[in-house]
């Protein structure tokens, strides 16, 4: 079906088309050039009216509307079309741009399912469906799972736009293929998911396994409290780490240091450290467990593991996440090295196959301008994970606060609605393949719409992501509804107690 013609000045990467209708931004079209079919993407779309172009007053506008309605030639629909490459090469997964620009007059036609199906939905078991093209909705949109495990992915959008929905979709698909997924669940969003192969675990920290400075983070000892830090470092000896009653032993050791102070201020600070230990034991006994074996042991291979970190403070969550990341990387390194050494000694490693780890609220754990342990390990995985089959997914509603280095290591991105310019700028600098026109589209996306760029797709795409049915995550709170129900219950309570009083009176 003819949509229009190439007009004006053409470039090998960009043409202007005059069309018979408005081309929605994000629609793929075919430019039927002499050298072969070329795939293009509408990046900008303008409608203008000859009669209504230069209106000076209200009456003139009214008259011109009538003129415009009568004149078939009044409206002009133009679109800027980005050239993505020859159709035939794109269908083979390669982008070859034309050497000469399409000449003006070349037909622009509607892209069919046959044209685009192979590009956006290759038939190969590495590819899984996550939605449909937003503007060519008859075409499925698939992503290459291998690429996200080897080259990582960033999922970025304002709050409530569908990040966790996409995470759930990806995680379900990986688990369906017997892969291992780990989600650090910061808001306890995922534990109620009613899906197969889910393994919900409360993340824990074994304080014996920590370094002294990490333990002081967990105990919430301030970084500036030098004396307390030193006392904890002195008390946290290898013997204490191994003693049967860990907390008692640590407490006694701190008490001992306080009773035999090197300096005057040690006495008071030792008391403070003891308070901190008491506090942590009382408040965080569920998450600080010196008697568990390695917390990583609860993660199951081939499952969708939800690690609930919602009970942690930010600092504790940071310690927990960095601990898990460090262990996972070490485990995968050992497994891969053993495999490549063709070791005769057949040891069963904890994780024999690649893992995909997802960090929600990534701006908290991988912050810009701040040193955090989790950031260090996330950065290391972003750089080295590829070799060891450890993929990273980072999810955030504040891309501007994520460490730019780590973000730029994400080989693929899903970007949903984002209004803040700082966020858009950060995304633009993290992904070269995302053009400025695409970025300007981000403000007008609806819930579940996403721009996909990077290695997990053959071509940048604007898609609508499938909604995972039967989930209860992240739904907005129905405040008005809940208030109404609460009021009803309240009223019913008052009424029934009034009834009782009435009854009592009658009985008297």
- Letters for 387-426 (x = contact with ligand ATP by CB under 6 A, - = none) are ----------x-----------------------------
> Which C-beta is closer to Mg ion: that of 369 or that of 477?
477
Going from the C-alpha of 37 to that of each of 4, 28, 34, 276, the distances in angstroms are 15, 12, 8, 70
122 interacts with ligand ATP by CB under 6 A: no
19 interacts with Mg ion by CB under 5 A: no
> Which C-beta is closer to ligand ATP: that of 295 or that of 448?
448
Q: What b-and-e string marks burial along 377-393, b requiring 16 or more CB atoms within 10 Å of the CB?
A: bbbbbbeebbebbbbbb
> Which C-beta is closer to Mg ion: that of 190 or that of 356?
190
Partners of residue 288 on adjacent β-strands: 205
Stretch that binds Mg ion, among 220-228, 368-376, 443-451, 470-478 (CB under 5 A): 470-478
Distance in angstroms (rounded) separating the CA atoms of residues 78 and 20: 9
Strand order of the β-sheet with 304-308 is 140-144, 127-133, 461-465, 449-454, 412-415, 153-156, 390-396, 355-359, 180-185, 304-308, 198-202
397 interacts with Mg ion by CB under 5 A: no
Q: Minimum Å distance from CB 183 to ligand ATP?
A: 12
Given 117, 160, 261, 302, the residue binding ligand ATP (CB under 6 A): 160
Given 40, 101, 154, 162, the residue binding ligand ATP (CB under 6 A): 162
Task: Give the H/E segment covering residue 5.
Answer: strand 2-7
Distance in angstroms (rounded) separating the CA atoms of residues 3 and 437: 21
Instruction: Give the binding-site size for Mg ion (rule: CB under 5 A).
Output: 3
Nearest 5 degrees, angle CA 194-CA 199-CA 202? 110
474 interacts with Mg ion by CB under 5 A: yes
163 interacts with ligand ATP by CB under 6 A: yes
Q: Among 398, 389, 318, which residue's Cα sits nearest to residue 349?
A: 389
Distance in angstroms (rounded) separating the CA atoms of residues 316 and 25: 45
Backbone φ and ψ for 362, nearest 5 degrees, come out as -60, -25
397, interface contact from Mg ion, ligand ATP, none, CB < 5-8 Å by kind = ligand ATP
Going from the C-alpha of 77 to that of each of 12, 19, 29, the distances in angstroms are 22, 5, 15
Token output for 234: 């002195």
Q: Minimum Å distance from CB 448 to ligand ATP?
A: 3
> Which C-beta is closer to ligand ATP: that of 18 or that of 420?
420
> Which C-beta is closer to ligand ATP: that of 141 or that of 397?
397
Q: Minimum Å distance from CB 164 to Mg ion?
A: 3
Token output for 356: 């995909």
- Whether residue 181 contacts residue 358, with contact meaning beta carbons closer than 8 Å, is answered with yes
> Which C-beta is closer to Mg ion: that of 54 or that of 476?
476
Given 64, 132, 150, 164, the residue binding Mg ion (CB under 5 A): 164
Query: What is the separation of C-alpha 263 from the centre of its chain, rounded to a whole number of angstroms?
Result: 49
- Whether residue 201 contacts residue 310, with contact meaning beta carbons closer than 8 Å, is answered with no
Residue nearest to ligand ATP (CB): 474
219, interface contact from ligand ATP, Mg ion, none, CB < 5-8 Å by kind = none
19 interacts with ligand ATP by CB under 6 A: no
Stretch that binds ligand ATP, among 132-140, 205-213, 403-411, 466-474 (CB under 6 A): 466-474
Stretch that binds Mg ion, among 157-165, 202-210, 248-256, 267-275 (CB under 5 A): 157-165
Residues of span 444-463 touching ligand ATP by CB under 6 A: 447-448
Given 33, 45, 141, 164, the residue binding ligand ATP (CB under 6 A): 164
Q: Which residues bind Mg ion (CB under 5 A)?
A: 163-164, 474
Footprint on this chain of ligand ATP (rule: CB under 6 A): 157, 159-165, 397, 447-448, 465, 467, 473-475
């Amino acid at each position: 079906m003819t949509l229009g013609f190439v007009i004006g000045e053409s470039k090998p990467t960009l043409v202007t088309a005059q069309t018979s209708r408005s081309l929605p931004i994000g629609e793929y079209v075919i430019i039927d050039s002499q050298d072969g079919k070329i795939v293009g993407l509408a990046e900008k779309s303008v409608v203008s009216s000859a009669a209504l172009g230069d209106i000076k007053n209200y009456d003139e506008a009214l008259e011109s509307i009538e003129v415009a309605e009568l004149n078939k030639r009044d409206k002009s629909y133009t679109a800027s079309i980005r050239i993505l490459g020859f159709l035939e090469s794109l269908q083979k997964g390669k982008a070859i741009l034309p050497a000469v620009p399409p000449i003006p007059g070349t037909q622009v036609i509607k892209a069919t399912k046959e044209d685009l199906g192979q590009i956006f939905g290759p038939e190969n078991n590495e590819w899984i469906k996550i939605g449909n093209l937003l503007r060519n909705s008859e075409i499925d949109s698939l992503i290459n799972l291998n690429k996200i495990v080897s080259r990582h992915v960033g999922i970025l959008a304002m709050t409530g736009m569908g990040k966790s929905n996409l995470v759930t979709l990806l995680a379900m698909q990986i688990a369906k293929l017997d892969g291992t997924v780990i989600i650090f669940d910061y808001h306890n969003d995922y534990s109620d998911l009613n899906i197969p192969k889910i393994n919900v675990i409360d993340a824990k920290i074994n304080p014996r396994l920590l370094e002294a400075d990490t333990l002081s983070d967990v105990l919430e000892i301030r970084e500036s409290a030098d004396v307390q830090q030193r006392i904890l470092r002195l008390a946290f000896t290898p013997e204490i780490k191994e003693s049967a009653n860990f907390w008692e032993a640590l407490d006694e050791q701190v008490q001992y240091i306080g009773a035999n102070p090197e300096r005057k201020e040690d006495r008071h600070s030792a008391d403070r450290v003891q308070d901190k230990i008491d506090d942590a034991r009382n408040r965080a006994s569920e998450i600080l467990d010196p008697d568990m074996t390695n917390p990583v042991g609860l993660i199951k291979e081939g499952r969708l593991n939800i690690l609930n970190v919602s009970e942690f403070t930010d600092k504790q969550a940071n310690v927990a996440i960095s601990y898990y990341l460090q262990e996972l990387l070490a485990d995968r390194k050992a497994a891969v090295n053993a495999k490549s050494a063709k070791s005769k000694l057949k040891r069963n490693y904890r994780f024999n196959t690649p893992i995909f780890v997802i960090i929600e609220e990534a701006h908290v754990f991988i912050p810009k301008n701040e040193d955090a342990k989790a950031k260090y390990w996330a950065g290391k995985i972003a750089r080295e994970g590829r070799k060891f089959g450890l993929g990273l997914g980072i999810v955030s509603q504040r891309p501007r606060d994520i460490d730019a280095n780590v973000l730029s290591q994400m080989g693929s991105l899903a970007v949903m609605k984002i209004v803040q310019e700082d966020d858009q700028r950060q995304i633009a600098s993290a992904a070269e393949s995302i053009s400025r026109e695409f970025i300007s589209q981000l403000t007008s996306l609806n819930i579940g719409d996403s721009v996909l760029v990077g290695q997990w797709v053959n071509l940048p795409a604007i898609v609508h992501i499938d909604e995972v049915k039967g989930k209860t995550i992240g739904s907005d709170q129905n405040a008005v509804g809940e208030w109404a129900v609460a009021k009803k219950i309240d009223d019913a309570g008052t009424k029934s107690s009034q009834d009782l009083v009435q009854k009592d009176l009658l009985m008297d």
